[in-house]
């Protein structure tokens, strides 16, 4: 039986070959929704696999796996990588680690590079723009585990924190201390990064459930380089927060830099609580109260889940999202 080609997909969908190519490479700027759906349906019906993927899928195991993190600067990422590496060492596997910088194009290029190296499976902290490629890998029975972020379709296992619960724990702790004027600081949510969205949603829900109306002007969700300028705008107002919730370690760093710049004392002037614990939070001038993720357990479970998939003859049709319980680490910032 001959292989299905891009031209076959184009003919079935009633579009040009170049339009199919644009779809495969996630270039949707000038593509109508009906066109996208026709191409998607044609690909599924025909079982089309792009050449770049088809050529890379292997027949033999190589005792290597790949990990693609969204941002290797996060303590969360490095701790998970370390746990994955421990499992790899125990099972005599080699590990490739790549940093995608939350860039879907870079992520796709790394996936194709790792497939070309014939890795046995992948662990990915995914963006939301390469669903087509994930679907083709699943169609090819290729083992893959997602960490930290969920996608719209549960075609692979997902291991991630209970983010709304983490935000709830943090905000309730501030409220228990009598603090009601609470702001939040997050990295940008424009790329639909699910943990950031869920943590902000949990922040708002918990305030509302406790009779506090969230002040949208105090919710900073932007690129890391713009966080301080957004905080400066808040400080120009007459009414200011008496506490801040930082949704991850990098946004916390920018918050602390801002407070140092304007000589704000923690917790005398403003209380602070954050998601993502790390060693540096214990040694800053005021140790920071944090919500800890079980990073080493997540990494271990992700690696073991991938090894089980590699050993299986066929992947399951769908998978559950496994959520992990956050834990409060009390320090002096609240």
Cβ atoms of 165 and 324 within 8 Å: the answer is no
Region of 276 on the Ramachandran plot (φ > 0 left; ψ -120 to 50 alpha; else beta):
left
Classify residue 205 by burial, with Cβ atoms within 10 Å: 0-12, 13-18, 19+.
Answer: middle
Q: What percent of the chain has pLDDT over 90?
A: 71
Nearest by Cα to 141 from 124, 121, 117 = 121
Q: Distances from the Cα of 275 to the Cαs of 6, 148, 245, 289, 329, in angstroms?
A: 45, 13, 8, 9, 10
Q: Distances from the Cα of 332 to the Cαs of 171, 186, 273, 287, 290, in angstroms?
A: 16, 22, 10, 5, 10
Domain boundaries, the chain: 6-48, 53-160+295-324, 163-292
Residue 309 CA to residue 101 CA, distance in Å, equals: 27
Q: Given this model, what pLDDT does residue 57 score?
A: 62
pLDDT in tens, 51-65: 666 655 655 678 899
The CATH number fitting domain 163-292, selected from 3.40.50.2300, 1.10.8.640, 3.30.70.2970, 3.40.50.1100: 3.40.50.2300
Q: Given this model, what pLDDT does residue 154 score?
A: 86
pLDDT in tens, 146-167: 999 998 888 999 999 999 999 9
Q: Given this model, what pLDDT does residue 53 score?
A: 64
Edge-to-edge order in the sheet of strand 144-147? 94-99, 64-69, 121-124, 144-147, 158-161, 321-324
Q: Is the pTM of this model over 0.85?
A: no
The DSSP-derived string for 213-272 is ---GGGEEEE-GGGHHHHHHHHHHSSS--SEEEESSHHHHHHHHHHHHHTT--TTTT-EE
Q: Distances from the Cα of 6 to the Cαs of 10, 232, 237, 268, in angstroms?
A: 6, 52, 57, 64
Q: Sign of the C-alpha dihedral, residues 257, 194, 184, 171?
A: negative
Strand, coil or helix: 70: coil
Determine the CATH number of domain 53-160+295-324: 3.40.50.2300
Angle (CA) 282-294-223 rounded to 5° is 70
pLDDT at 228 over 90: yes
Cβ atoms of 250 and 224 within 8 Å: the answer is yes
pLDDT in tens, 309-320: 999 988 998 899
Tokens of 261: 């710049």
């Amino acid at each position: 039986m001959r292989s299905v080609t891009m031209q076959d997909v184009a003919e079935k969908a009633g579009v040009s070959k170049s339009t199919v190519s644009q779809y495969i490479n996630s270039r949707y700027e000038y593509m109508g929704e009906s066109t996208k759906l026709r191409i998607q349906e044609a690909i599924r019906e025909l079982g089309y696999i792009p050449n770049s993927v088809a050529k890379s899928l292997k027949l033999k195991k190589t005792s290597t796996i790949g990990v693609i993190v969204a941002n290797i600067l996060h303590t969360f990422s490095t701790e998970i990588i370390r746990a994955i590496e421990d499992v790899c060492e125990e099972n005599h596997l080699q590990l490739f680690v790549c940093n995608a910088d939350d860039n879907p194009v870079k992520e796709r290029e790394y996936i194709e590079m790792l497939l070309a190296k014939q890795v046995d499976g992948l662990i990915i902290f995914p963006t939301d723009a390469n669903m087509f490629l994930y679907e083709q890998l699943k169609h090819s029975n290729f083992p893959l585990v997602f960490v930290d972020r969920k996608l719209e379709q549960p075609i692979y296992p997902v291991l991630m924190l209970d983010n709304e619960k983490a935000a709830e724990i943090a905000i309730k702790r501030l409220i228990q201390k009598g603090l009601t004027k609470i702001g939040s600081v997050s990295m940008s949510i424009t790329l639909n990064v699910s943990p950031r969205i869920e943590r902000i949603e949990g922040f708002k829900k918990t305030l509302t459930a406790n009779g506090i109306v969230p002040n949208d002007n105090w919710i900073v969700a932007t690129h890391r380089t713009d966080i301080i300028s957004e905080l400066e705008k808040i400080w120009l107002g007459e009414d200011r927060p008496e506490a801040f919730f930082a949704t991850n370690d990098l946004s916390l760093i920018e918050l602390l830099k801002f407070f140092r710049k304007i000589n704000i004392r923690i917790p005398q002037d403003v209380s602070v609580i954050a998601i993502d614990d790390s060693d540096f939070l214990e040694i800053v001038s005021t140790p920071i109260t944090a919500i800890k993720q079980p990073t080493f357990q997540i990494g271990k479970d992700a690696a073991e889940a991938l090894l089980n998939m590699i050993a299986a003859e066929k992947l399951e049709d769908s998978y559950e999202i496994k959520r992990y319980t956050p834990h409060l680490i009390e320090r002096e910032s609240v």
